[in-house]
């Protein structure tokens, strides 16, 4: 395992692709401000992200990026409001595009990865992939957390004063007359 913070931030993606290059390293979550903002607490030194990305050219000379991004983030459970560790693993894959016009020409089956000219911001790529992989609603797996919501009698009972007749039934009658 590499020392945290050793991952390079900007790469010449075209040069890496012609050499079938690999970026393999570790960075701290604190180096990714958008990801750190999603955490329930301030990132610590032991909060790291492992990155392994391979760059290669396809038959049309497009630069492809494939790899794996792995971390564990401290999120806040939306049911019990306690902090819990959320493992996140992303299989990143896409085609690097140097501008918006090139991104529009990326085939539908591929995800465009936006670069700034000849340079790709690896930290931005890692941040984007991690943010997309986060759960929409953070929920822990604690037994005491989930048990309180699975068999809640208040949620299973029909609400008092709930209307049983359909207010749109009259529309059904009108439709039959035609």
Mean pLDDT value across residues 26-41: 92
Maximum pairwise Cα distance, the chain = 76
- pLDDT tens-digit map of 34-81: 999 999 888 888 899 999 999 998 888 889 999 999 999 999 998 888
What's the per-residue H, E or C state across the chain? CCCCCCCCCEEEHHHHHHCCCEEEEEEEHHHCHHHHCCCCCCCCCCCEEEEEEEEEECCCCCEEEEEEEEEEEEEECCCCCCEEEEEEEEEEEEEEECCHHHHHCCCCCCCEEECECCEEEHHHHHHHHHHHHCCCCCCCCCHHHHHHHHCCHHHHCCCCCCCCCCCCHHHHHHHHHC
pLDDT tens digits, residue range 76-99? 998 888 999 999 999 999 888 888
pLDDT of 154 strictly over 60 = no
Q: Is the pLDDT of residue 162 over 80?
A: no
Give residue 177's pLDDT band: very low, low, confident or very high (50, 70, 90): low
Distances (CA, A) of 142 to 78, 148, 153: 12, 10, 20
* Section 9-23 average pLDDT: 88
pLDDT for 105 equals 81
**Is the model more confident about 78 or about 164?**
78
The yes-or-no verdict on residue 1 having pLDDT over 50 is: no
Whether the predicted model's global pTM rises above the 0.75 cut: yes
């Amino acid at each position: 395992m590499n020392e945290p913070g050793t991952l390079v931030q900007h790469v010449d993606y075209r040069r890496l692709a012609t050499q079938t290059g690999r970026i393999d390293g570790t960075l701290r979550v604190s180096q990714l401000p958008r990801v750190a903002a999603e955490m329930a607490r301030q990132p610590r030194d032991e909060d790291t992200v492992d990155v392994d990305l391979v760059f290669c050219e396809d038959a049309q000379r497009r630069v492809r990026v494939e790899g794996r991004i792995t971390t564990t983030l401290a999120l806040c459970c939306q049911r019990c409001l306690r902090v819990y560790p959320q493992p996140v693993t992303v299989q990143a894959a896409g085609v690097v595009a140097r501008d918006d016009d090139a991104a529009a020409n990326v085939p539908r089956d591929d995800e465009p990865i936006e670069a700034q000219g000849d340079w790709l911001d690896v930290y931005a790529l890692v941040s984007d992939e991690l943010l997309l992989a986060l759960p929409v609603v953070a929920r822990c797996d604690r037994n005491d957390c989930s048990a309180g919501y699975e068999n809640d009698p208040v949620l299973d009972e029909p609400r008092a004063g709930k209307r049983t007749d359909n207010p749109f039934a009259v529309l059904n009658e009108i439709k039959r007359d035609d």
